């Protein structure tokens, strides 16, 4: 019988806006911040960590040549801890968490740190294929066979988001209202100290030489208005998807310590959550972003739970159309969704977002005295991960 997988702690950095407070922090150093926080907060022997699994999407430049190993070397972990960098697009660190859970449940490893980092200021989104195209390195990520099969020149998340809005019948006003609500919930969460348990500060130096602690999400706009959001031009002329009703370009990192029962006993650890069920599904790569719906159905089936039993949901706000379609398709209670705001306000540091959502979900459940949480997110290529956790 497989062992259980427990979360001992889950932490994240506060999101940094593009060219904001985190702009001068190297990605490896940024990734080391939540790792070091886990070691400090849990008091574990760093040498007892069996592996570090870290997600990162744009693996080029400062994020190239095995970023996860560089996170180990930049952190308080000894060089004897191995590491692996994975890319499942926006779900990279959620998949890192799944791999970590599977490792400790199998007993092949006992203690694993899963997480991710994405520095979207220093390594802009799409850098790998843009630079490859400039260098004349082939057709890009889609072979001619794939282009012919799907009758497209590329797979575009922006096209997918617009297709979802059109297919599920969401107009600009509805998506803008959802975006405003994300900012309002996030601002209220900050004011109430709801993120205090999950955010670990990053020490940064300002342009004028002052040393400060970055511990507040920079992208949240407490003064956002529907008029201001509505004034932003569509990404594509005639469309309804805009930068204001989509996730923000963000710098950030997050990490989760995952162990099995043997490690709990050996190290005297107290878990804050148990990983109950895991699922990953794949579907249409053109629409791309609708896969959280079947992934949700799959993980509920695997977990033996009904939708009504889930107390809180975290569905990544890559675009407002995605969680809106998820709500409509799944029939979930909107009051249980992204209760502290989502990526439209907090940002979407691609490779870090999976464990960022998990940190927010687990701490929100515990703060409210609730039990079950479900997390899912859309991913490039028409894939989605889904995870159910039980707060302890």
Q: Using pLDDT thresholds of 50, 70 and 90, give the confidence band for residue 82.
A: very high
Give the pLDDT band (50/70/90) at residue 129: confident
List the catalytic residue out of 90, 98, 183, 276.
Answer: 90
| pLDDT at position 207 | 80
Q: 106, 102, 99: which is closest to 84 by C-alpha?
A: 99
pLDDT at 361 over 60: yes
Residue 130 is predicted with a pLDDT of: 83
Tens digits of residue pLDDT in 170-198: 999 999 999 999 999 999 999 999 999 99
Query: Any catalytic annotation for residue 66?
Result: no
Residue 118 pLDDT greater than 70, yes or no = yes
Does residue 56 have an active-site annotation? no
Catalytic residue of the set 98, 119, 348, 363: 348
pLDDT grade for 206, boundaries at 50, 70 and 90 = confident
Is the pLDDT confidence value at 57 over 80? yes
More confidently predicted of 128 and 138: 128
**Percent of the chain with pLDDT strictly greater than 70:** 100
The predicted pLDDT at position 139 comes to 76
Asked if residue 147 lies in contact with residue 286, where contact means CB atoms within 8 angstroms, the answer is: no
Calpha distance 52→117 (Å, rounded): 12
Please state, in angstroms and rounded to a whole number, the distance separating the CA atoms of residues 377 and 315: 6
Cβ-Cβ contacts under 8 Å for 166 (sequence gap 6 or more): none
Tell me how crowded residue 173 is: count the other CB atoms within 10 A of its CB. 12
Residue 183 known to be catalytic: no
The total number of residues written for the chain in this structure: 392
- pLDDT at res. 154: 93
pLDDT value at position 1?
56
pTM strictly above 0.95: yes
pLDDT at residue 286, as a whole number: 98
Residue 168 has pLDDT above 70, yes or no: yes
pLDDT at 81 over 80: yes
Tens of pLDDT along 321-345? Answer: 999 999 999 999 999 999 999 999 9
The chain-wide mean pLDDT, for the chain, equals 96
What's the confidence (pLDDT) of residue 343? 98
Q: Predicted confidence band at 296 (pLDDT cuts at 50, 70, 90)?
A: very high
- In this prediction, residue 70 carries a pLDDT of 98
pLDDT of residue 233: 97
pLDDT interval class at 136 (50, 70, 90):
confident
Position 178 scores a pLDDT of 98
Lowest mean pLDDT among 83-92, 139-148, 154-163: 139-148
């Amino acid at each position: 019988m497989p062992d259980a997988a427990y979360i001992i702690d889950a932490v994240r950095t506060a999101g940094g806006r593009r060219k904001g407070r985190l702009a001068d922090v190297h990605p490896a150093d940024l990734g080391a911040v939540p790792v070091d926080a886990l070691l400090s907060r849990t008091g574990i022997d760093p040498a007892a960590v069996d592996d570090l699994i870290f997600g990162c999407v744009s693996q080029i430049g400062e994020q190239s040549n095995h970023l996860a190993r560089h996170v180990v070397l930049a952190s308080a972990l000894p060089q004897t801890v191995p590491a692996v960098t994975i890319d499942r697009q926006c779900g990279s660190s959620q998949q890192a968490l799944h791999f970590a859970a599977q490792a400790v449940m199998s007993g092949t490893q006992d203690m694993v740190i899963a997480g991710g980092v994405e520095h979207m200021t220093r390594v802009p989104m799409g850098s790998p294929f843009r630079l490859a195209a400039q260098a004349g390195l082939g057709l890009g990520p889609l072979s001619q066979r794939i282009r012919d099969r799907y009758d497209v020149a590329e797979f575009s998340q922006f096209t997918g988001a617009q297709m979802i809005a059109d297919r599920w019948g969401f107009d600009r006003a509805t998506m803008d209202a959802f975006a405003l609500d994300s900012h309002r919930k996030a601002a209220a969460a900050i004011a109430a100290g709801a993120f205090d348990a999950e955010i670990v500060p990053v020490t940064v130096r300002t342009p004028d030489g002052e040393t400060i602690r970055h511990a507040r999400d920079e992208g949240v706009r407490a003064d956002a208005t529907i008029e201001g959001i509505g004034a932003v031009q569509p990404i594509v002329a005639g469309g309804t998807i805009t930068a204001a009703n989509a996730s923000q370009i963000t710098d950030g990192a997050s990490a989760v310590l995952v162990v099995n029962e043997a490690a709990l006993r050996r190290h005297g650890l107290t878990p804050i959550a148990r990983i109950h069920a895991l699922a990953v599904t794949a579907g249409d790569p053109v629409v791309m972003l609708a896969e959280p719906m079947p992934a949700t159905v799959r993980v509920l089936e695997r977990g033996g739970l009904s939708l009504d039993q889930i107390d809180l949901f975290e569905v990544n706000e890559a675009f407002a159309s995605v969680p809106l379609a998820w709500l409509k398709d799944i029939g979930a209670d909107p009051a249980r969704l992204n209760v502290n705001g989502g990526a439209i306000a907090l940002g979407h540091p691609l490779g870090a977002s999976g464990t960022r959502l998990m940190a927010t979900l687990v701490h929100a459940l515990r703060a409210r005295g609730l039990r079950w949480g479900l997390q899912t997110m859309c991913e490039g290529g028409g894939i989605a991960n889904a995870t159910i956790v039980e707060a302890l």
